[in-house]
């Protein structure tokens, strides 16, 4: 297939890039553009670059990074565009991202479809723009915009691009026709940004974006490298800036951070594909039902509405139904007011939402998701009520964080239509969706759920059935070690600091206070003591029994002043911890940050390796996706498995063995898969069952 073609339209040479799915700048594309520019027909007076398919060029081909470079490189393409004797126009639809926007900046003019977006998202891959983006953009749109796009990595709309001077024109429709006319009539001169004067220094912008990088992108090297590259070009001129940008880019491409983030990029896309051996056909879903109008039910209904489904909402308590229904409409109104959705879309969502007066409201539903209280008997009652009334082929999904999907499925006829959909709260905001496949769940039902996840804009991961599925099963190992470290002598502050320094957004004790200590307390009451480490929660239990349930009661592990959420040291907590240690006969010892991090993170990794070995996760990369998207594991570490592979599985296995010697094998038995991969030189993040 020819990925680059060209044809004359009047006096305009139209070069079309057609490299599905996203027109990435693969070698053949680069070569095709350079060739087309090297042999201009004599009749041509201007050149137009357009893309076929759903988008303009979405960037360099990420899969080529880390491989030997193939000539021509992207810099050669940009040079050919700048050296082209004719004015060059880029016509942008869909997205012009990274190298795609950079290519357009080497053109003389840019015209955009009104729905197009442009951006420099390289920081999301642990990189900086590597083809002049940090130099040309500031010369075109000023320092603030140059920093904003490349530091935040967030794209902007066509109208914003017009406002800041990136776009020369925005067309409502007929982009190519309008762009050909623009090239013929308006694009009369070369306007090379390489030769444009440097913009004035903007100290405020540098301060603001440096602050942003430190606060919002803590631990990441790329945003600070962007700032360095922009400043270098401003102070030393275009050519020096370009050279500096290239050097920084090359360093970052081979860094752990960028490798980790590129791993997540592909892992997130792979996670949404059916696991090996699953060959179902997706079932069309148009009408969905939600049982339970509490926080989770509301979020799930909003996600379904965003996916274009008709939604029937029901709650056995009429008052709760009414509150939930109003809450959904309020969120839709809020999204409209913030410009997130159009008036037409808001009207459509309101119109597609209905309240059911009773169970019969679900008669026509293709899928019903229950989001009632986390209790097996209550969920069985709901499923029984549904099974009596809904179509025999309607999918029955349960939003549970821990419960046994197989037991629930066995309680209804046709268990092959049952599966778990574990949404994270708030369900309409959080990207992660664990799709729990029961022993009877049919392949058709599973692929339907994956398709629904995509329609809802979620990052879906398939999990098998076990207590807590992938995410919560692993987090309990992490929480257990944090609790034991506390008992052995580390303070909540020291533990929280060690893991936040590692890159977690919040420490386990700040997190527990925020979630409410009573939640875990009542969940534990449903477990038998052999299912968890009772010693790890002795302090938690003591706090709850004293009425210190966390933020909501003004104290837990920390104290909170005047409803403020800032955790403050509380001498009373120290006394409580000390009393528990004395009662248990424990002499506290000094514990350093390294031991804290290794015990918490390696426990997470070991539990993950155990469940991957059991086939609960289909792929190692799925575990990383769960942790990066549902539990705040630093993306620049790529997830727990990517991190384990980076520090070395033999090292992880050796540390786990030493913890087993010190603390016993009950919780520190190395997972067989971890041992196997450590021995064979394999990797957890790329392991596939
Ligand atoms: N290189 C290689 N493959 C890419 C790619 C890229 N830049 N962008 C997307 N793909 C692949 C995806 O892996 C996926 O493959 P699959 O079908 O085999 O899973 C396929 O294209 C479709 O991607 P999505 O599922 O993400 O499609 P969406 O429609 O949801 O999103 C998109 C489209 C917004 C363009 C999104 O793919 C995206 O954000 N891509 C990455 C953009 C990016 O980061 N660009 C910068 C690259 S680095 C760079 O340009 C360096 C330069 O400065 C030198």
In tens, the pLDDT along 350-409 reads 999 999 989 888 999 999 999 999 889 999 999 999 999 999 999 999 999 989 999 999
Give the CA diameter of the chain. Answer: 92
56 CA to centre of ligand 1 in angstroms: 11
User: Could you tell me if the CB of 60 is within 6 A of ligand 1?
Assistant: yes
What is the assigned CATH class of domain 4-253?
alpha beta
Q: Mean pLDDT across the stretch 280-304?
A: 97
Domain regions of the chain by residue span = 4-253, 287-463, 471-593, 594-680
266 CA to centre of ligand 1 in angstroms: 9
- In DSSP notation, 291-307 reads E--SHHHHHHHHHHHHT
Q: Is-same-fold flag (4-253; 287-463)?
A: no
User: Could you tell me if the CB of 119 is within 6 A of ligand 1?
Assistant: no
The answer to whether 400 touches 422, Cβ cutoff 8 Å, is yes
User: Could you tell me if the CB of 58 is within 6 A of ligand 1?
Assistant: yes
Q: Which atom of ligand 1 is nearest to the CA of 55?
A: 35
Q: Mean pLDDT across the stretch 547-575?
A: 94
For the chain, give percent helix, strand, coil, nearest 5.
Answer: 55, 10, 35
Q: What is the token pair recorded at 79?
A: 């040079």
Give the per-residue pLDDT at 1: 75
* pLDDT tier, 277 (very low <50, low <70, confident <90, very high otherwise): very high
**Superfamily for domain range 287-463:** NAD(P)-binding Rossmann-like Domain (3.40.50.720)
The answer to whether 314 touches 362, Cβ cutoff 8 Å, is yes
448 CA to centre of ligand 1 in angstroms: 24
User: Could you tell me if the CB of 150 is within 6 A of ligand 1?
Assistant: no
Sheet containing strand 156-157, edge to edge, reads 95-97, 117-119, 156-157
CA–CA distances in Å: residue 193 to residues 146, 351, 522 = 13, 49, 63
The answer to whether 550 touches 515, Cβ cutoff 8 Å, is yes
Q: Which is catalytic among the residues 82, 122, 268, 370? A: 122
Which residue's CA is minimally distant from atom 45 of ligand 1?
A: 59
Q: What are phi and psi of 6, to 5 degrees?
A: -145, 150
Task: Give the C-alpha separation, 394 to 387, whole Å.
Answer: 9
Q: Which is catalytic among the residues 102, 481, 488, 598? A: 102
Task: Please say if 122 is a catalytic residue.
Answer: yes
User: Could you tell me if the CB of 99 is within 6 A of ligand 1?
Assistant: yes
User: Could you tell me if the CB of 268 is within 6 A of ligand 1?
Assistant: no
Give the per-residue pLDDT at 551: 94
- Whether 194 has a pLDDT exceeding 80, the answer reads yes
Task: Give the C-alpha separation, 438 to 642, whole Å.
Answer: 28
Q: Mean pLDDT across the stretch 658-665?
A: 95
Which residue's CA is minimally distant from atom 38 of ligand 1?
A: 58
Q: How far apart are the first and last CA of the chain?
A: 34
Please name the residue that has the structure tokens 């904003």: 148
264 CA to centre of ligand 1 in angstroms: 12
Judged by DSSP in three states, 275 sits in coil
Burial grade of 670 (CB within 10 A; 0-12, 13-18, 19 or more): buried
- Whether 575 has a pLDDT exceeding 80, the answer reads yes
Residues 510-530: tens digit of each pLDDT: 999 999 999 889 888 888 888
The answer to whether 59 touches 98, Cβ cutoff 8 Å, is yes
Output b/e per residue, 172-206; b: 16+ Cβ within 10 A. Answer: eeebbebbbbbbbeebeeeebbbeeebbeebeebb
Give the per-residue pLDDT at 483: 98
Strand partners, 97: 119
Residues 478-504: tens digit of each pLDDT: 999 999 999 999 999 999 999 999 999
User: Could you tell me if the CB of 277 is within 6 A of ligand 1?
Assistant: no
Pocket test for ligand 1, best of 62, 104, 253, 265 (most atoms within 8 A of CB): 62
Is 0.85 topped by the overall pTM?
yes
Give the per-residue pLDDT at 69: 87
Q: Span 594-680: which CATH code?
A: 1.10.1040.50
| pLDDT above 70 coverage of the chain, percent | 100
User: Could you tell me if the CB of 155 is within 6 A of ligand 1?
Assistant: no
Task: Please say if 407 is a catalytic residue.
Answer: no
22 CA to centre of ligand 1 in angstroms: 6
User: Could you tell me if the CB of 199 is within 6 A of ligand 1?
Assistant: no
CATH 1.10.1040.50 fits 471-593, yes or no: yes
The answer to whether 647 touches 594, Cβ cutoff 8 Å, is no
Q: What are phi and psi of 87, to 5 degrees?
A: -60, 140
């Amino acid at each position: 297939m020819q990925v680059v073609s060209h044809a004359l339209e009047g006096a305009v040479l139209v070069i079309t890039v057609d490299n599905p799915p996203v027109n990435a700048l693969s070698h053949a594309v680069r070569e095709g553009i350079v060739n087309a520019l090297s042999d201009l027909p004599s009749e041509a007076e201007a050149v137009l670059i357009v893309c076929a398919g759903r988008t303009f060029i979405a960037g360099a081909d990420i899969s080529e990074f880390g491989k030997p470079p193939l000539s021509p490189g992207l810099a050669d393409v940009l040079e050919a565009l700048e050296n082209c004797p004719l004015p060059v126009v880029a016509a942008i639809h869909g997205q012009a991202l990274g190298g795609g926007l950079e290519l357009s900046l080497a053109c003389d003019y840019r015209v955009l479809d009104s729905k197009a977006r442009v951006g420099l998202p390289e920081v999301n891959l642990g990189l900086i723009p590597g083809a002049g983006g940090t130099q040309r953009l500031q010369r075109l749109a000023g320092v603030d915009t140059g920093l904003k796009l490349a530091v935040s990595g967030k794209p902007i709309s066509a109208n914003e691009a017009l406002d800041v001077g990136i776009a020369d024109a925005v067309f409502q429709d007929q982009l190519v026709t309008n762009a050909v006319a623009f090239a013929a009539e308006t694009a009369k001169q070369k306007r090379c940004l390489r030769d444009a004067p440097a913009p004035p220094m903007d100290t405020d912008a540098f301060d603001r974006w440096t602050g942003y990088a430190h606060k919002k992108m803590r631990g990441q090297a790329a945003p600070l490298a962007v700032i360095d590259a922009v400043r270098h070009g401003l102070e030393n001129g275009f050519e020096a800036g370009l050279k500096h940008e290239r050097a920084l880019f090359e360093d970052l491409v081979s860094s752990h951070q960028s490798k980790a983030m590129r791993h997540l990029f592909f892992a997130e896309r792979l996670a949404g594909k059916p696991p090996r051996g699953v060959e179902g056909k997706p079932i069309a879903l148009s009408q969905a039902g939600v049982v339970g109008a509490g926080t989770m039910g509301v979020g799930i209904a909003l996600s379904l509405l965003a996916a274009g489904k008709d939604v029937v909402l029901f709650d056995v308590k009429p008052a709760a139904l009414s509150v939930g229904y109003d809450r959904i409409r309020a969120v839709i109104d809020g999204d409209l007011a913030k410009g997130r959705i159009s008036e037409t879309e808001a009207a459509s969502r309101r119109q597609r939402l209905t309240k059911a007066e009773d169970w019969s409201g679900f008669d026509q539903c293709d899928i019903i998701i229950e989001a009632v209280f986390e209790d097996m008997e209550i969920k069985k009652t709901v499923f029984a009520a549904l099974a009596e009334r809904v179509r025999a082929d309607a999918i029955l999904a349960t939003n549970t964080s821990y419960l046994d999907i197989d037991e629930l499925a066995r309680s209804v006829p046709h268990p092959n239509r049952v599966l778990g959909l574990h949404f994270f709260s708030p369900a309409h905001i959080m990207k992660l969706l664990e799709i729990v496949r029961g022993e009877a769940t049919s392949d058709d039902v599973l692929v339907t759920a994956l398709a629904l996840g995509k329609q809802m804009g979620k990052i879906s991961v398939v999990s098998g059935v076990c207590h807590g599925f992938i995410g919560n099963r692993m987090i309990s190992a992490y929480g257990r070690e944090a609790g034991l470290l506390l008992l052995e002598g580390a303070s909540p502050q020291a533990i929280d600091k060690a893991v936040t320094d590692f890159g977690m957004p919040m420490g386990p004790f700040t997190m527990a206070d925020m979630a409410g200590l009573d939640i875990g307390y009542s969940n534990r009451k449903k477990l038998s003591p052999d299912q968890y480490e009772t010693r790890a929660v002795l302090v938690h239990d003591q706090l709850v029994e004293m009425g210190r349930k966390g933020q909501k009661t003004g104290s837990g592990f920390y104290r909170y002043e005047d409803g403020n959420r800032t955790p403050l040291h509380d001498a009373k907590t120290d006394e409580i911890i000390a009393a528990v240690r004395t009662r248990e006969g424990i002499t506290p010892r000094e514990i350093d940050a390294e031991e804290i991090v290794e015990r918490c993170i390696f426990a997470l990794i070991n539990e993950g390796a155990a469940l991957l070995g059991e086939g609960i996760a289909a792929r190692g990369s799925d575990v990383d996706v769960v942790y990066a998207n549902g539990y705040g594991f630093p993306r620049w570490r790529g997830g727990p498995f990517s991190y384990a592979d980076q520090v070395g599985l033999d090292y992880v296995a050796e540390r786990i063995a030493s913890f087993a010697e010190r603390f016993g094998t009950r919780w520190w038995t190395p997972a067989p898969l971890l041992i196997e991969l450590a021995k064979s030189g394999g990797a957890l993040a790329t392991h596939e069952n």
